[in-house]
Amino acid sequence: MSDITLKVNGRTHTLDIDPSTPLLYILRNDLGLLGPRFGCGLGQCGACTVIIKGAAVRSCITPTSTVQGAEITTLEGLAQDGTLHPIQQAWIDEQALQCGFCQNGQIMNAKALLDRNPDPTDAEIREGMVGNLCRCMTYYRIQAAIKRAANVISAARSASGKEVVG
């Protein structure tokens, strides 16, 4: 056991843990952040996805020691000032989920995807999401939700752009 410092959703935590423990268990069991979930523990399904330094990361196979000090965002950290992130809102608007168990990973991976590529083609969405499995097979609605979110985000961006110009 040793002291580890983690920055999660803008808060800093110091924890006395076994540093080799996968980040997933620390987030869930020590920090009470329940968005990321165990699906496989093998890096195969994406249910445990969090965002670290802008990239979607599978927390089930990420030793906590390797992410000390890095800015970690979980599902709980997406909403800002009580307003859902446009991706979360798009998920509601499309009623994208069935059980919802996988959707932490779908949403977090979509966030990393859209941050990287704000206007993805259908093929880029499929390719970018292919590693996030959903056993309720809600892929069709998820892809629609990603497109909706991309439109909302780019509309907001051009609206704010116009303001700046005007």
Distance of CA 109 to the CA centre of its chain: 5
Q: Does 49 bind another protein (CB under 8 A)?
A: no
Query: What is the rounded distance in angstroms from the CA atom of residue 147 to the CA atom of residue 75?
Result: 19
Query: What is the rounded distance in angstroms from the CA atom of residue 104 to the CA atom of residue 37?
Result: 8
CB closer to ligand FES, 77 vs 105: 105
Query: What is the rounded distance in angstroms from the CA atom of residue 110 to the CA atom of residue 86?
Result: 11
Long-range contacts at 122-131 (CB < 8 A, ≥ 24 apart): 131/44, 131/46
DSSP state at residue 47: T
Per CB under 6 A, residues contacting ligand FES are: 38-41, 43-48, 58, 60, 97-103, 134-136, 138
Q: Does 152 bind another protein (CB under 8 A)?
A: no
Question: Which of 38, 42, 39, 41 shows the shortest CA–CA distance to 29?
Answer: 38
**150 binds, options another protein, ligand FES, none, Cβ within 5 to 8 A by partner type:** none
Subset of residues 59 to 118 that bind another protein, contact rule: CB under 8 A = 74-76, 78-79, 84, 88, 91-92, 95-104, 107
**48 binds, options ligand FES, another protein, none, Cβ within 5 to 8 A by partner type:** ligand FES
- Scanning 34-42, 51-59, 65-73, 151-159 for contacts with another protein by CB under 8 A, the matching segment is 34-42
Q: Coil, strand, or helix at residue 103?
A: helix
Residues lying near another protein in the complex (CB under 8 A) are found at 1, 18, 21-22, 25, 28-29, 32-35, 37-42, 44-45, 47, 74-76, 78-79, 84, 88, 91-92, 95-104, 107, 122, 125-127, 129-143
